[in-house]
Amino acid sequence: MNIDEQFEQFLAGLGVEMERPDDRQYNGDSIPEISIFQASRDHYGVFYRLDIIDQRPELRVMVPVNKGDVRMDIYLVRLSEHTPLNEFFGKMSIYEGSPTYEQGREATLQHLLYAAAETMKQLFWSGDLPTQVFPGEIEVYPLLIQSERRLGRKKSR
């Protein structure tokens, strides 16, 4: 079972149906070159999705919370433009090597994505979620933040 099938099975257990890549475009018109889904070893209940999109590594951090219908906050983490890793992924994506190199390209990109993601995770967790202050090497965008109000109902006291 590959990583996409594992992720689809995980989501099905939560009652969520995963959209197919041909059903939906990622990040505008961009489809991930590589995608990896993993559970955090260091933070209980946290999941990560690692992608290479538009020749840049992206990390989505899914953090459990005790509010809202989804009970998860989701953040998009990208390396800032001035970090050299962005340039490296761009050059790796366009490089055309020998047949032997091309045969191992996907595995190489996966290992590089893991390494970049470990850096992004460390920087993300060293930041402050409530104030949204993070180290300058990353950009963090809240994608889904659960509010105290749900579906137009006020929180009961």
Q: Give domain status of residue 11, yes or no.
A: no
Rounded to 10 deg, the angle between the 84-94 and 105-126 helix axes is 160
CA 117 to chain centre: 9
Q: Give domain status of residue 6, yes or no.
A: no
Where does the pLDDT of residue 10 fall: very low under 50, low under 70, confident under 90, or very high at 90 and above? confident
Q: Give domain status of residue 15, yes or no.
A: no
**Burial track 105-128 (b if 16+ CB lie within 10 A, e otherwise):** beeebbebbeebbebbbebbeeee
Where does the pLDDT of residue 31 fall: very low under 50, low under 70, confident under 90, or very high at 90 and above? confident
Token pair for 157: 């006291």
Token pair for 134: 């993070």
Q: Give domain status of residue 74, yes or no.
A: yes
Return the pLDDT at 3. Answer: 61
Q: Give domain status of residue 47, yes or no.
A: yes
Whether 63 has a pLDDT exceeding 50, the answer reads yes
Number of domains in the chain: 1
Q: Report residue 75: phi and psi, to 5°.
A: -120, 140
Domain extent, residue 84, equals 28-144
Whether 155 has a pLDDT exceeding 60, the answer reads no
Q: Give domain status of residue 46, yes or no.
A: yes
Q: Give domain status of residue 23, yes or no.
A: no
Tokens 């850096």 belong to 119
Q: Give domain status of residue 85, yes or no.
A: yes
Three-state DSSP state, 48 = strand
